[in-house]
Structure 1
């Protein structure tokens, strides 16, 4: 075994066991609530559960990714100035750019961490399910469970099959294409959402913006081309993971947008509308209180005469009237 093979085995073997533990445990959980252990629904939901567990574990890295991406966007005007100043000297430009990132406390590679960490997990799941489709267990997934997975059907389609290996089976092709399209749409929507709502105008120009625009169209195509070779179970994992990313990013952009972006302007309008609505309620309340207290605060009107005794009335009567 080569040194690269040894390194790969050292990294992947723990992942096989980790993924198989979650997958088998989730399958037992869904079986315990009444699903058929040999059915595709139990295995598909086990894959969904595995996906949610992995993405939940990566939330801290996603937060770092968001912060790194935000800092990168905010630093783009300064990067452009460095490009104008040191455009003739690539080495000096690289040094000054990295110094700028260091002084700002950001790392351009931090935005890639979630993707880089997910790739080994994705590859481990792909190999695990690919072997299971041939009845070979891996990790704690036994051969019997692998055989069961290989024959499990969802809507009459084996989730271990691929589009390329459908051999004309329309059901497999339709389900695989549906998931590939869903994967493509969610990938494009997520990237488009980031560029259109959470990037300032200054960040939409220059090399960094060009890279983002290229990825916007290239990544979905790459996923679509590669997706036809993936088992349906892997496509389920990928699609659910993309949906998680899209919803998570939507929440972050809506509630904590980058300053100077359309998302920040929209949030400012929502906050202003909310404040005005709350202020209107307070004003109406104050007005009502004032109206209720107005009679008490009004100036003195016609006073009622005080009640007098008969002796007092006789005393105060004019003398001509006293008879």
Structure 2
């Protein structure tokens, strides 16, 4: 039994919910509305993640100073970081664990919109929701995919801009690369059916708006000038 097969009962429930909405709404709009409902249900986890990220940002100057001081002593650095988080009653994983807890829900949504089912036979502007861009033909179908990718790129840019401002520890490995991952949804959308692309657009737009709301009272993190260890 595959890992995805374990999700089938939840996928069937999601399918029934979207089908019920699609009985009174255009299917594409039903996908958007169902995605919004799922994200609303997951909002408490997003709030928990935001609290962890704010704690990380608050401790970033102290973490950077410890990295500078113990740059050549990884054992002492790890011990110092552990002590810092203990004293501050924080965790370096506080912002990650709630995000990981959301993964099963997103896996169900991905499975629903990529596994062949009757919902994918419906159309939006004449384009089947189960169609991939490499099978699109005619200006009409290509235009629908083009508008989707353009919207995803716009949301990705907003996410990129916010991520650059919110890097808690600019000295951490991979910190400079993380903001650019915001554009990964555009590439991923090119590999999945139109329905999954609509889901991606809805959930990423929600994420950007949700993050802006949860971090509305946060100041942008200023780049830290890290001095070389003596």
TM-score in terms of structure 1 length: 0.60
Judge conservation of contact 2:133–2:190 (CA < 8 Å) in 1.
Answer: yes
The whole-number CA distance in structure 2 between the counterparts of 1:21 and 1:110 is 34
The 5 Å alignment of 1:8-23 reads 9-10=5-6, 12-23=7-18
Judge conservation of contact 2:130–2:195 (CA < 8 Å) in 1.
Answer: yes
Deviations 1:244-282 (A, max 9, x none): 22222222333x224x869xxxxxxxxxxxxxxxxxxxx
2:177 partner SS: helix
Cα drift, residue 8 of structure 1:
5.2
Deviations 1:53-73 (A, max 9, x none): 111011111111111111111
The whole-number CA distance in structure 1 between the counterparts of 2:139 and 2:102 is 31
1:238 aligns with 2:200: yes
The whole-number CA distance in structure 1 between the counterparts of 2:196 and 2:84 is 40
What residue number does 2:155 align with? 186
The whole-number CA distance in structure 1 between the counterparts of 2:113 and 2:169 is 40
Q: 1:218 aligns with which of 167, 181, 192?
A: 181
Q: 2:49 aligns with which of 65, 73, 82?
A: 65
What residue number does 1:161 align with? 131
Cα drift, residue 152 of structure 1:
1.5
1:110 partner SS: coil
1:164 partner SS: helix
The whole-number CA distance in structure 1 between the counterparts of 2:124 and 2:202 is 16
Q: Quickly say closer, same or farther: Cα 1:122–1:251, change in 2 above 3 A.
A: closer
Over aligned residue pairs, what C-alpha RMSD do you find? 2.7
Task: Say which structure, 1 or 2, has more relative contact order (CA 8 Å, 6+ apart).
Answer: 2
2:96 partner SS: helix
The 5 Å alignment of 1:68-107 reads 68-107=52-91
What residue number does 1:110 align with? 94
Q: Quickly say closer, same or farther: Cα 1:88–1:261, change in 2 above 3 A.
A: closer
The whole-number CA distance in structure 2 between the counterparts of 1:188 and 1:245 is 13
Q: Quickly say closer, same or farther: Cα 1:233–1:104, change in 2 above 3 A.
A: same
1:257 aligns with 2:222: no
Judge conservation of contact 1:190–1:249 (CA < 8 Å) in 2.
Answer: no
The whole-number CA distance in structure 2 between the counterparts of 1:173 and 1:117 is 36
Judge conservation of contact 2:50–2:215 (CA < 8 Å) in 1.
Answer: no
Q: 2:115 aligns with which of 104, 107, 131?
A: 131
Residue segments in structure 1 that go unaligned for 5+ positions in a row: 36-40, 137-145, 263-323
The whole-number CA distance in structure 2 between the counterparts of 1:261 and 1:102 is 23
Give the number of the structure whose residues are more often helix, by fraction.
Answer: 1
The whole-number CA distance in structure 2 between the counterparts of 1:241 and 1:108 is 26
- Size of the aligned set, in residue pairs, is 222
Q: Quickly say closer, same or farther: Cα 1:115–1:184, change in 2 above 3 A.
A: farther
1:111 partner SS: coil
Structure with larger Rg: 1
